[in-house]
Structure 1
Amino acid sequence: MVEKRRADPTRRRFIRTGTGLAVGGALAGCAGRSDTEGSTPTGAEDDANGTDTAERDESYSVAMEPMGTVTFESVPERWIPYGGDYADMAVALGRADGITGIGGADRYYTDVYDELPGVSVDRDRIERHPEVRTKEQFYELDNDVHLYDPEMLVNWFDWDRADVEEIAENVGPFVGNLIFRREDAWHDYRYYTLYQAFEKVAEVFREEERYRAFEALHDEFVADVQRRLPPASERPSVLLTYEGTDEPETFSPYRLNDKGTSKKQWRDLGVGDALAGTGVKGISTTDRGELDYEALMEVDPEVILVRGHERKSAAEFRDTVLEFMRNHPVGRELTAVKNGRVYRGGYLYQGPIHNLFLTERAAQQLFPDVFGDVTSGEQLFDRGRVADIVKGDF
């Protein structure tokens, strides 16, 4: 057990100020908030990171459930996310250099940054601390802010709320909300969309201008894709599942009608959920139900999306998972398998940069005649513009 300590008052003064406001109110339930809560940046000349000196020297507050209002007296420098969604948000805001580790490195996909000139994250640093989930680890890494939903720590990793309060008081506050799905009974407080959560992280790092630039790019991109979509009657029925093996025999269902951020690209493309009207529920903390091939035959979707294979290329996925399904005595009778329309299902934890790439990929998977095949190399958004925003050149 690591001995509890007090934070360095010269570097962490803002941490102790903020947690006194947050922990008592929000973790006990749903603290009320309005979308206008937060602070307005003070005017001063921008420094090299896009954060002015006055902002670093003056206190400001960020409100996000379930933690509530957290007050900072300087911009956090060292930070850690639980998943790839919040990691990607901070990278998008130009804060990659401050990451010290992650709650789950296996689901943080950084290869997309290779397509963005001058954008990268230190993967070696992440791999040194790939599963930060214990109090001892939080003390060791000594971060200024933790981009974790504290209720997730309580419900997934057996923390007590007193443990959350201890770390928030002695190390750094929590700012985060589990947003990738909306099917967990314990999550009885407000959810956020991807860009609502992204805006909160931007407030934490005083990078609101970068956020607005990303928001504008995203809105233009999605509007352009949606303008080119075929009519709803001509869009395929889609089954989103999880099965991480190369020889799948059963599949865990996800529901596209769930508004979690991991399904954002499919909602933006307006596709139909093949499980609609079946009574089948999506995977959650308490529901780990699976579907076999006979159950899939009853639904017989036009497209099957399989999660758990994001380290594979499109060709590698076809040569392993799809090939096995083509040789399966029941699986080969599925319409999606016959037509070769079984694809990788996208990240579970996606941030704003991830989402641009995943939306492009999804559009090409579902509508290759409109947007080009996934292997065509056709680009639906400007990589250079994304990189410029990350680097503060906008």
Structure 2
Amino acid sequence: MYSGTALGGSVLSGCLAGEENGDGDSPSSTEPNAENESDGEDTRSEDGPHTATLAPVGEVTFDAVPETVFTVFPWYADMAVAVGHGDSINSLWWAEEFDSIMQYFTADLEGVSVSWADLEGQYGANEERLYELDSDLHLVDPAWLSTQDGWDRDAIDRIADTVAPWFGNQYSNLHQTAPEAWAADYEYYTLWELFEQVAAVYRERARYEALASVHADLVARIERNRPAKADRPTVGYLQLPTDLSAVSVLRLNAAGYYNAHTRPLGSTDAFEDLETTGEFASVDFETLLEADPDVLLMLWGMTSSVDLEALRANLEDHSIGGHLSAVQEGRVFTQGTRFQGPLMNLFQLEMTAKQLYPEQFGEWPGYEDGDSYPDFDADEQLFDRQRVSSIVTEGNDA
């Protein structure tokens, strides 16, 4: 089915750590890399091998487009849906919740079908299960997998040699440091650069280019119309359980694809000077009130793990939380997931732009459990739904 270079094989020259924006979310960065334009060439009607390249695994050659694909995280499943191969995904961690989020965002895309709820999955992978699935591809970063129980280099190589290759890049999520054994071959990618190479695996360059153009237009529109920096709100990006038992602060503008829907908006992180260890920083309500963000964004507010209506009520009743400006002014908004692929990214960019800049992009109408994504009139949409639907379902850039 495939062959691959050893680790340390060629990787995209355009995906460099320390890039100024760190995310490639500027319009120019979503344009196809001319130097690698042959990667993922749209040759669906042709036979013969094709290649895709991604650090840390390097270049992988496929004899055919993978028909069964194992993954853990939903950004890869989203990418498969985006290029018309959603049916190839055979495993997904926390599948029912991610299915619900994806259904929420894509319900307005005519003909786009998502069916993840019944997929079995694990956080990580089980070697025996991978033999049982016998997939054509594992969309998982082997460097990340090496940090999970039961996975050493021998086991990782054994699966690659006897079942199917690995193809993934985890630590671009927040530009984290890869495990020492893999660090020399690691590069950082933006969400859309990562999508470009996954599209190459599926030989769907035309779909990638068309969706990248939609994304570039959307980001350009946001950057062109957002208020002057001095007039932008301060934002607290939080992970907060319904009972308010712990307050975790996320970084709003950090490099990496986890922030591909917040960083392009250019708002001020109310906690930008807060030292964080890892992905979150734990704070108390006194610290929250001292910062007093203009807007609060609540991660996982669309999942069953958070009751957003009850959370808002608990904040209003809290002896300190009730004094927060965002609570008093009704600017506590839900977020979906940082674990976004290209389709979720388009909708989350639009949603968050409306939450932060209602005067410029139209007001976000709110969210209650069980809602569907708002049916905005065409002049209220920040990107063309029909165009995206046509790209995903027909491969046509309408």
Which of the five TM-score ranges fits, normalised by the shorter chain? 0.7 to 0.9
Q: Which position in structure 1 is the counterpart of 2:315?
A: 325
Rounded to whole Å, the distance in 1 between the matches of 2:348 and 2:232 is 18
Q: CA-atom RMSD, angstroms?
A: 2.5
Cα displacement (A) at 1:129: 4.1
Rounded to whole Å, the distance in 2 between the matches of 1:90 and 1:374 is 29
Structure 1 residue 142 and structure 2 residue 144: aligned? no
1:358-369 equivalence runs, <5 A: 358-369=348-359
Structure 1 residue 212 and structure 2 residue 209: aligned? yes
| Pairing partner for 1:123 from 116, 119, 129 | 116
Tell me: CA distance 1:41–1:193, structure 2 relative to 1, closer, same or farther (3 Å).
closer
- How many residues of Structure 1 are paired with residues of Structure 2 in the alignment? 356
SS at match of 2:273: coil
Q: Which position in structure 2 is the counterpart of 1:385?
A: 387
Contact 1:86-1:147 within 8 A present in 2 as well: yes
Q: Which position in structure 2 is the counterpart of 1:239?
A: 236
Cα displacement (A) at 1:91: 0.6
Q: Which position in structure 1 is the counterpart of 2:368?
A: none
Rounded to whole Å, the distance in 2 between the matches of 1:222 and 1:37 is 23
Contact 1:59-1:71 within 8 A present in 2 as well: yes
| Pairing partner for 2:152 from 160, 163, 170 | 160
Q: Which position in structure 1 is the counterpart of 2:272?
A: 276
Structure 1: runs of 5 or more not aligned? 1-13, 43-49
What letter is aligned with 2:157?
A: E
What letter is aligned with 1:258?
A: A
1:52-91 equivalence runs, <5 A: 52-54=44-46, 57-91=47-81
Cα displacement (A) at 1:72: 1.1
Q: Which position in structure 1 is the counterpart of 2:17?
A: none
1:335-374 equivalence runs, <5 A: 335-374=325-364
Q: Which position in structure 2 is the counterpart of 1:264?
A: 260
What letter is aligned with 1:385?
A: R
Tell me: CA distance 1:75–1:61, structure 2 relative to 1, closer, same or farther (3 Å).
same
What letter is aligned with 2:109?
A: L
What letter is aligned with 1:350?
A: Q
Contact 1:84-1:351 within 8 A present in 2 as well: yes
What letter is aligned with 1:73?
A: D
Instruction: Report which of the two has the higher share of helix.
Output: 1
Tell me: CA distance 1:351–1:299, structure 2 relative to 1, closer, same or farther (3 Å).
same
Tell me: CA distance 1:37–1:76, structure 2 relative to 1, closer, same or farther (3 Å).
same
Query: Percent same amino acid among aligned pairs?
Result: 35
Structure 1 residue 251 and structure 2 residue 235: aligned? no
Query: Relative contact order, CA 8 A, sep 6+: which one is greater?
Result: 2
Structure 1 residue 230 and structure 2 residue 209: aligned? no
SS at match of 1:115: coil
SS at match of 1:176: coil
SS at match of 1:326: helix
Q: Which position in structure 2 is the counterpart of 1:306?
A: 298
Contact 1:254-1:282 within 8 A present in 2 as well: no
Structure 1 residue 34 and structure 2 residue 29: aligned? no
CA offsets per residue over residues 76-133 of structure 1, 9 Å max, x none?
A: 111122211111111100101211111342445321222111111223542x446561
Cα displacement (A) at 1:218: 1.0
Cα displacement (A) at 1:377: 4.2
Contact 2:174-2:257 within 8 A present in 1 as well: yes
Rounded to whole Å, the distance in 2 between the matches of 1:113 and 1:209 is 21
Rounded to whole Å, the distance in 1 between the matches of 2:242 and 2:40 is 50
SS at match of 1:146: strand
- Normalized against structure 2, the TM-score is what? 0.82
Contact 1:252-1:290 within 8 A present in 2 as well: yes
Rounded to whole Å, the distance in 1 between the matches of 2:273 and 2:121 is 43
Tell me: CA distance 1:41–1:247, structure 2 relative to 1, closer, same or farther (3 Å).
closer
Tell me: CA distance 1:100–1:264, structure 2 relative to 1, closer, same or farther (3 Å).
same
Contact 1:242-1:306 within 8 A present in 2 as well: yes
Contact 1:104-1:132 within 8 A present in 2 as well: no
